[in-house]
Each structure stands twice: as structure tokens, then as C-alpha cells.
Structure 1
Amino acid sequence: MTSLAQAIPPGLASIAGARDAITTNEAAPIINRRPQTLRKWACLENGPIRPVRINGRLAWKVADLAKLLNGGE
């Protein structure tokens, strides 16, 4: 069975460090989208992943980004 640490792509791991979630501006280039696209996904609730809110700001779970990058939804 593959652990989550092995499933996280190296580029994502280097940006995330030890954090569980990253900002919109950090997440967008990883999945080859513009930050506004991620904000639209959050607003319309129609994207392949959903954000969490930390202190009123959008954050994207590293696990969800890794799953998306590895072909899952």
C-alpha cells in the first residue's frame, strides 16, 4: 500500500513542506491553473477539489492536490 508521503509529487512536497494546506497562489501553478480559476471553483463549488478556510482565507489541502495530480478526483 502506498503512503500519502510517497504519493505527493516532488514539486508539491517542496512547496508544502510540513503544511497540510497551501494558499491559492501556491496551489494554482502546481495544477497548471490560474489563481482566479481556483477561486471560482471555491465560489461556485464546481471544481474537482474543494478548499478549506483558514482565518477566512482559502487554502487547498495538499492531500487533495496530490490526489488530483496523480489522476484521481
Structure 2
Amino acid sequence: MQPSPNLHSADTRRAVSEPQQFPPLELVNRPTVPTEQAAHYLLRRPQTLRGWACAETFPDGLRPVRINGRLAWPVAGIRAALGVA
């Protein structure tokens, strides 16, 4: 009997269930970060940030940039929204 194609391997299930690990905000030296990483720093869900971008209701200084159809969030804006220098 062959395994069902809908079943995932243990590695796949583990990768889906484990949260992503991101470096501390003070160590980030890139100008922008992807939505998932920005949401981690802002303690929000990624879909919340996508909603902000769509409705343009993001906090002051946190306007995302669209790069090839994807959102990139400015690290300086994340720091400003958190009140971190």
C-alpha cells in the first residue's frame, strides 16, 4: 500500500508548526523586512499588516514599499512605531 499524497512528512509538519525565528530588531541592518518579520516585531499577525497596507491605515512613518508585488516594511518605520531610537 502506497502512502497517500495528501499526507505530509514529519519534517513538513514540524516546519509548518514551528514559528519562524527572527533576529532582534536592533541587529537588523537591512532597510526593509518582509511582512512576516515586521509583524513579529510589531506583535501583530501578518494579515493585520496586509490589511493596513491595503486600507492605508498603518501607523505614521510605517508606510510599506511594494517590491515586485510584495510588501517590504521599512525598519526605521518599525523602530519609530515602537518608539525605539
Which range, TM-score by smaller chain?
A: 0.7 to 0.9
Q: Deviations over 1:5-48 (max 9, x none)?
A: xxxxx82133x3x3100000011011100000000000000121
Question: Which protein is richer in helix relative to its size?
Answer: 1
Counterpart-to-counterpart distance in 1, 2:72 and 2:55: 16
Q: Deviations over 1:39-71 (max 9, x none)?
A: 000000012121001122101000000011117
Q: How many residues align?
A: 60
Moved over 4 A (4+): none
Unaligned residue ranges in structure 1 (runs of 5+): 1-9
Unaligned residue ranges in structure 2 (runs of 5+): 1-22
SS of alignment partner, residue 58 of structure 1: strand
1:65 aligned residue: 78
**Aligned-CA RMSD value:** 1.7
Q: Could you tell me the TM-score, scaled by structure 1's length?
A: 0.73
**Which one of 23, 37, 43 corresponds to residue 32 of structure 1?**
43
Counterpart-to-counterpart distance in 2, 1:47 and 1:39: 10
Instruction: Decide which structure has the larger Cα Rg and report it.
Output: 2
Q: Identity percentage over the alignment?
A: 53
Counterpart-to-counterpart distance in 1, 2:51 and 2:31: 22
Q: Could you tell me the TM-score, scaled by structure 2's length?
A: 0.64
